[in-house]
Amino acid sequence: MTTAIVLSLLQPTFSFFGEVSFGDFLTGTTWAPTRGEFGVWPLVVGTMTITVVSLIVAVPVGLLSAIYLSEYAHPRVRQVLKPALEVLAGIPTVAIGLFAIGFLRPFLEDVLPFLDWKGDFSAAVAGVGVGLLIVPLVASVSEDAMRAVPAGLREGAYALGATKMRVSLRVVVPGAISGIVAAMVLGASRAVGETMVVVMAAGRGKPELTWDPLDSMQTMTAYIAGVATGDASTGTIEYDTIFAVGTLLFVMTLVMNMFAIRLVRRFREVYE
């Protein structure tokens, strides 16, 4: 399946780079295919900005949830909360998008009125929405990793007089670090590929190169979703752009996962 996906991307991508310079594509700062400008940086910056905001939301909330479920929650409470948390991951993304524009945006404006909110769409709101979407993923995978840490390590720490908080932060979290890193990478990959929440909350306007999360931004997935609607004729340069952007997105997630694998292997704890 992976091979078929890669092959389906390559032919139109090669066709695209037969007409557009690879250097201009990666270093250009203006994305306007209708005018012959194919600098992909505005889309990349929009994608990474929303991903970073989502991780700022999801990682602390997910890790704290995992620590509570693994170390503090009563077994009966865990039996209720963990399935409920995992059900949250099954909420349709369009519902999360509606929640972002109908509740999160006015809520954030009320809580943070000193920020310069611009228009009806912003990358910050989209990032918070995507962050809520990936909290269950980060929490569930991290909790599984923490539960896999041998009980003997906890008991040894308690025997030395450590508190539950110290055991959780100094023993369990370091012992489960490989699983926690995997959870973060899975969450980041999920955030990078999210489309519906981003389209609804961040807008689909003209892509502009900006680092301000309060601005409207267009991501790589939002551009692909906007163009791949049948309006672009097969074989045209505009049609090939969606495959070039998709290939770049594929490479970005592949690099993220390769980096995570190296990190996990470096810090992995092996128990016998």
Task: Count CB-CB contacts under 10 A for residue 119.
Answer: 10
Alpha-helical (H) ranges within the chain are 2-17, 22-27, 41-67, 75-88, 93-99, 105-111, 123-147, 151-159, 164-167, 173-175, 177-192, 196-202, 220-227, 237-267
Q: pLDDT digits over 158-195, tens only?
A: 898 888 899 988 889 888 888 898 889 889 988 988 88
Q: What is the mean pLDDT of residues 143-167?
A: 88
CATH of 40-220, one of 1.10.3720.10, 3.40.50.720, 1.20.1740.10, 1.10.10.10: 1.10.3720.10
Higher pLDDT, 119 or 8: 8
Q: What is the mean pLDDT of residues 17-26?
A: 87
User: How much is the pLDDT for 64?
Assistant: 94
Q: What is the mean pLDDT of residues 83-107?
A: 87
Query: What is the dihedral angle through the alpha carbons of 104, 110, 112, 118, rounded to the nearest 10 degrees?
Result: 70
Structure confidence at residue 269 as a pLDDT band (50, 70, 90) = low
Sign of the alpha-carbon dihedral angle for 132, 133, 134, 135: positive
User: How much is the pLDDT for 255?
Assistant: 86
Task: Report the candidate in 252, 260, 129, 258 with the shortest Cα–Cα distance to residue 193.
Answer: 252
Domain ranges of the chain: 40-220
User: How much is the pLDDT for 268?
Assistant: 65
CA distance 15 to 223: 19
| Average pLDDT score, the chain | 86
Higher pLDDT, 45 or 233: 45
- Residue 264 burial (C-beta neighbours within 10 Å; 0-12, 13-18, 19+): middle
CA distance 181 to 266: 11
User: How much is the pLDDT for 256?
Assistant: 83
User: How much is the pLDDT for 232?
Assistant: 66
- Residue 200 burial (C-beta neighbours within 10 Å; 0-12, 13-18, 19+): buried
* Lowest-confidence segment of 38-42, 56-60, 210-214 by average pLDDT: 210-214
CA distance 193 to 198: 10
Q: Which residues on neighbouring strands pair with residue 32, listed in sequence order?
A: 37
Q: What is the mean pLDDT of residues 24-39?
A: 85
